[in-house]
Every structure is written in structure tokens, then in C-alpha cells.
Amino acid sequence: MLCTGAVAFAGWQLARPARAWIGPPPTGLPAEDIAIRAATGAHLAGWFIPGRPGAGAVLLLHGVRGNRLQMLGRARLLVDEGYSVLLLDLQAHGESSGHRITFGRNESADARAGVDWLHARLPRERIGLIGVSLGGAAALLGPSPLPVQALVLESVYGDIDSAMANRLRAYLPVPAATVVAAMFRVLMRPVLGIGREELRPVERIGGVTAPVLVASGTDDDRTPLEEARALFAAAPEPKRFWAVSGARHEDLERVDPAGYRAEVVGFLLAVLRH
């Protein structure tokens, strides 16, 4: 009973909001504050940076327990190339409303709201999306594929069972991690109100209608390289894979900025300005 309670408490901790005060846009980025309402009712806070007409636009979605500040390096790279950029705090993160983190299920409504906002604001532009970890899962877990012309998925888990087991093994001995992971699977719906079958990006990526780039660190113990390759294998063509040498489950743009510009920004340039 005590172990069950501890697992339930840990699940609640993982799902609790990660709100933070962000403040004004950083100096040097001509960003405007924006607010978007998602289909879940969440009010999403963000920044929009207008770019050069005809250059395309990119939505940036951060990782779990992060916020739009996590994506500033990417935003600066894209602004330098003339893109319009939208940075959002996913619901229950940063300055956005929301009662809990749902590992991509409810956050998929945020991805849709951001894409729809860009289409309304820039109806003539081709749209791309970069999603990191949770942000990438959100881009895949909606009821229908997002209407984007390019999709970049960084360090995105394939299914919640593997994601949870990998994270537990990072902190617990393997036998204990195996037991706790099994209990999480049983308790996920009653504690968090989320079914495991709702959190399987590897089963949803096949419906994507845009060119895809899947990126992962070679030393990532949260989303191991073989799982990233399985996600890539399930994606339709055209697609690319980028393995970042020595990177763990961390910011790939900071680990290899030159490689990021060549691989990710290069992919967007090739697809969005074709």
C-alpha cells in the first residue's frame, strides 16, 4: 500500500504544472506578446517575431517542464534566416494556464492552436514546426495531422511505457525500476486520467503529411538512439535522421550549434523555400 501511494505521488509530481514568470522579450528580438486560446480552454502565452515576407514561419514548442525561453537559441537562428517565429509556453508551463502536464495529449491542442494562429496571421507562408521532447510529442498526438509543411522532432519518446521505464532506470536499480514502471502502467489512468494508448507517438507519426526530420543524441538515456530510430522508421517519406554525437537528453542546439544550423535549419530551408 505504501509503495502504491509513493508511485501515485510520483505520478502526480511528474504531472504538476511547471509555471514560471517569463517577463518581456529579450533585447535584440523584435517580439510581440501574444495570447492564444487552445481547444482545451487553456490560455497560451507566447512571443511572435515577424520575418521577411515569403521566407516562411516556424512554431517552436519546448520540452517538459520548460518554457519558451528554452527555444530562444533556435529562434535567433531562424530570425537570422528571415523566418517569422512563434514561441509558445505549452499549457501548464511558463505563463500559460493549465492544471497538469499530460505528456503530449492535451498539449497537442496547443500545437494545433499555434499552427492555426500562424496560418491566420500569415496565410501566404509555408509553416514549419520544431518540437523538443514534449513539444514533439504534442505535434504528433492530436486527432489529425497538423497542417504544416515541415516537421522537426527532437528527442521525442516513442511510447510512454518506454519513456517512463528509461527515466526510472536512470535513478533506480533495474529490478526496482521494473517494478515501479509496472505500477505506473496500472496507475496512470486512475491517477492522471490518461490512458497509455493515448501516448504512443510511434503509432501516430505514420499519419504525418509533411517532410520529417528526427533528431536524437547518441548518448540519450531517456530516449535512446534505437527508440529514436524506431520513430524515424515509422515516419513516411520524405524524411531525414540526425544523430548528435555525444548528446544526452539535452538541448541539441546548444550541444552542436554548427550541426544544428546545417541539419535543422538546412532542412527547413530546403523544404519551406522549395
Q: From first to last of its 274 residues, what are the pLDDT tens digits of the chain?
A: 545 555 555 555 678 899 999 999 998 899 999 999 999 999 999 999 999 999 999 999 999 999 999 999 999 999 999 999 999 999 999 999 999 999 999 999 999 999 999 999 999 999 999 999 999 999 999 999 999 999 999 999 999 988 888 877 766 666 666 777 777 777 778 777 888 899 999 999 999 999 999 999 999 999 999 999 999 999 999 999 999 999 999 999 999 999 999 999 999 999 998 6
Q: What are the grid coordinates assigned to 163, written together?
A: 519513456
Angstrom distance (rounded) from CA 58 to CA 110: 14
**Per-residue pLDDT at 214:** 98
Whole-model pTM?
0.94
Q: What are the grid coordinates assigned to 32, written together?
A: 510581440
Q: Please state whether the peptide bond connecting residue 147 to the residue before it is cis, i.e. omega within 30 degrees of 0.
A: no
Angstrom distance (rounded) from CA 79 to CA 16: 33
By C-alpha distance, which of 189, 187, 250 is closest to 222? 250
Grid coordinates 496512470 are at which residue? 188
By C-alpha distance, which of 140, 187, 203, 201 is closest to 14? 187
Domains and CATH numbers, the chain: 2-14+34-272 (3.40.50.1820)
Beta bridge partners of 129: 59, 151
Grid coordinates 527532437 are at which residue? 154
**Per-residue pLDDT at 104:** 96
Helix (H, G, I), strand (E, B) or coil at 148: coil
What's phi and psi for 213, nearest 5 deg?
Answer: -120, 120
